[in-house]
Amino acid sequence: MIKIDLSNLAKIKAQHGLSGKELFAEPAKIKNLLQKIESRKQGFHTVIDDTSANRKISDYSAKNKGKYKDLILLGIGGSALGTICLQQSLKHLFHNELAGSSKAPRLHVLDNIDPTLMSEICDIIDLKSTLLIVVTKSGTTPETLAQYYYFLDKIKAKKLNPKNHFVFITGSGKSVLRRFAEEYGIVVFDIPKNIGGRFSVLSAVGLLPAMLMGLNVKELLAGAKEMRKSFYSPDWTRNMPYLLATAQSKLLKKGKIINVMMPYSQKLIRFADWYGQLLAESIGKQGTGITPISALGVTDQHSQNQLYNEGPNDKLFIFIKAAKPGPVIQIKASGKDPETAYLKNLSFGKLMETEMMGTIGALTENARPNLTVEIDKVDEYHMGGLFMLFEAATAFLGEMMNINAYDQPGVERSKEITKKLLTKKNER
């Protein structure tokens, strides 16, 4: 189960918070907003029904089970962040170290073109037992193609067949990557035209790596479908994405131009990173937007909390709490020392939860708006729900702000300039 607690918004000064009347003032608008979202014809909330695509992913994964010791994902931005999140959230935190003694493949995500990164990854893998997953919707992303060329050269140098060591995830239109697939007979998985990279984690972009890692994709999709019921609901009391977006939208008008997502679970910090792109690239347009910041409880209580409590009051804090954060591990404090007696009979989970309550309490006292999203535990079902919750909230937020949440003209312009500069260089 996923719950959202907005009660602290009403506990702080009016200029910084939201009363119940403000938060729930316009429930009738939800039907109109849902119609506007539907008119965009975006597929982030319908791709989870694509049984044919999911069957192809399942068949490919079953066919290649146990074949590779290493998976390397070549991609950037929305092509990588969802997979990084899935690995961090749903595999053992030290999965790659453990995988050496089991049949589970290690996963490495190369979401940068730093030459040191490109070089040093080759020191820990054997290409003979490696599958390279190339992800680019356009099929022309220069960073990803550069990575592809780099590894293709190494594959050929080892006299290996590219079709046995590459798999492509790309858009259905004609592209350079499609030509490479035809040339070498490489398997291709399609990214639907109506799904942008930052909304693509529940498509083949995230599901293929997830299944190759041995994750339960059925549960991931089941959680997403359950949250979609909330998203489609015209009843604002049940529509969590609508309530979240309403809080963000109304607080933006009160000067809360930054959203800090602070999960209290080591496994969820990459979810905050994934959301950072989703929020920034979807809403940051037309001279407005919300700046995302990732923080981790309890770590960042000791690195950022001073600013949050006494710095500019320009932030909304979104806490994510797992009711069952992990195994119950008791702290072995004797209780004989008065200064540490409070640790006696305490578990690490309870200590972490109490510190979260302290952080939230201090922010509330200092009139810093905050809300909490709670999940039962970090597993495939709840991660699917979280992905859908925040994607759907972003869709609502775009309509509330009269912004197209699905394009990225600022990003495209930088790509155009980069390509022009490189073209001029090669023409000399």
Share of the chain above pLDDT 70, in %: 98
Residue ranges of the chain assigned to CATH 3.40.50.10490: 2-40+220-406, 51-191
Cα–Cα distance, 40 to 36 (Å, whole number): 7
Q: Does position 100 have pLDDT exceeding 70, yes or no? A: no
Fold topology of 51-191: Rossmann fold (3.40.50)
Q: Does position 410 have pLDDT exceeding 90, yes or no? A: no
Q: Does position 426 have pLDDT exceeding 70, yes or no? A: no
String of DSSP letters for 150-203: HHHHHHHHTT--GGGTEEEEEESS--HHHHHHHHHT-EEEEEPTT--GGG-TTS
- Per the CB < 8 A criterion, the answer to whether 108 and 117 are in contact is no
* Token pair recorded at residue 171: 């858009």
* DSSP β-bridge partners for residue 5: 372
* Token pair recorded at residue 177: 């990557």
Query: E strands along 75-129, which residues?
Result: 106-110
User: What pTM did the predictor assign?
Assistant: 0.96
- Residue whose pair of structure tokens reads 């960042």 in the numeric block: 300
Helix (H, G, I), strand (E, B) or coil at 370: strand
Q: Does position 27 have pLDDT exceeding 80, yes or no? A: no
Per residue in 367-385, pLDDT tens? 999 999 999 999 999 999 9
In this prediction, residue 14 carries a pLDDT of: 92
Per residue in 195-221, pLDDT tens? 999 999 999 999 999 999 999 999 999
Q: Does position 101 have pLDDT exceeding 60, yes or no? A: no
CATH of domain 2-40+220-406: 3.40.50.10490
Per residue in 218-267, pLDDT tens? 999 999 999 999 999 998 889 999 999 999 999 999 999 999 999 999 99
Per residue in 251-307, pLDDT tens? 999 999 999 999 999 999 999 999 999 999 999 999 999 999 999 999 999 999 999
Q: Catalytic residues, which ones?
A: 281, 302, 415
The conformation of residue 347, written as its DSSP 8-state character, comes to B
